[in-house]
Amino acid sequence: MVSVIVPMCNAEKYLIRCLKSIQNQSYKNLEIILINDGSKDKTSTIAHYYESSDDRIIVIDKENNGVSSARNFGLKIATGDYITFIDIDDYVELDYIDRFVNESEIKKVDLVIGGLRQVRGKKNRILTNKAKGIKLEGKKNIHPLICAILDVKSDIKGNYNPLILGFPFAKMYKRELLLNIQFKENIPIREDAIFNMEVMLKARSIGIFDYVGYHYLLSPDSATGKFRENFSEEVTIFLKTSKNTWLKNDLPINSYYTGVLYTYMNWLKICILNDNSTFTFSERRKMIKESFKNEMWKKSFLSLEYKGLTKPYQTLQFFFRKKSSIGIIVLYKISEFLKRM
């Protein structure tokens, strides 16, 4: 049996599409766990309606404590041999669970990683693995995956796409692998990435294949790309937690430092230079100038060799070392313009 954990909060707009895509799976032996995280709309009413006609559905109503709390509650009550996570505003192809179960059983692995389709309005972007089906075993082969969760510009893209690795979806976990592992509820961002780092550190084997059956909706309601005024504090918590994982498990520190550079660009995107930012231009420049003194950023920018970086990161490192806030702003604007072309 497969336990499908779906956290929900004010999701009446998306619930039926998501739930129907799960109910109609070709693989029928399912436990569908819907965790209502304090919704104020009709999410709970709709969920309970479908629960009354499908004995595979379990609806849990709880106070709002965030998506990590909801997923953890699902993990606590799940009884399936396998566990997969699906976000309520997303949906999956009808053979999704069947394909993951088959891959897991054929490869005899603890975790299977597939691809996904990012959907933004009428635009689609496929993120998939080049591997048709490979099995990774042992620290030597699994640790590079962990590093790539943070260092998404890693040059180990031959078999898999690093952009997929941090998400909890487009994956199937053996339930026994997740014993004593939870989403950290005190981490406000990328708690799913921390979760997957811990899972991969524990996994004895991981399967990777190129199947794309998960539709990841990037909507105006999504947290991705939205302005977050407190992102500076949030990203500090995430990076400190990640660094502890790196040091505790003797992971290559340069991959952490490169990941910090990538996170710096996200910090600019989500907080400092976001189109919906409430900061004035002078405040933005001041915050970037203050980042030149921040030990977390400074250590990473100064520790990496210039030649080992990609061109955009080389330019970012150059402006950071020169303490040029204008240079960093111009670089960011150009990179965002090129992405939209």
* Higher-confidence position of 106 and 313: 106
Between the alpha carbon of residue 121 and those of residues 126, 218, 236, the distances in Å are: 14, 8, 32
CA dist 175 and 45 (Å) reads: 29
Most confident of the following: 67-71, 129-133, 183-187, 309-313: 67-71
Cβ-Cβ contacts under 8 Å for 69 (sequence gap 6 or more):
37, 62, 183, 185
Looking at residue 114, what is its pLDDT? 94
- Dihedral of alpha carbons 195, 196, 197, 198, sign: positive
Poorest-confidence range of 84-93, 124-133, 190-199, 244-253? Answer: 124-133
pLDDT tens per residue across span 200-245: 999 999 999 989 999 999 865 454 456 677 778 888 999 999 999 9
Looking at residue 180, what is its pLDDT? 94
* CB-based contact 200:152 (threshold 8 Å): no
Give the total residue count for the chain: 341
Looking at residue 156, what is its pLDDT? 53
Q: Tell me, what DSSP letter sits at residue 307?
A: G
> Nearest 5°: phi and psi at 133?
160, 95
Confidence band of 340 (pLDDT split at 50, 70, 90): low
Looking at residue 221, what is its pLDDT? 46
Domains of the chain: 2-217 (3.90.550.10), 231-340 (no CATH)
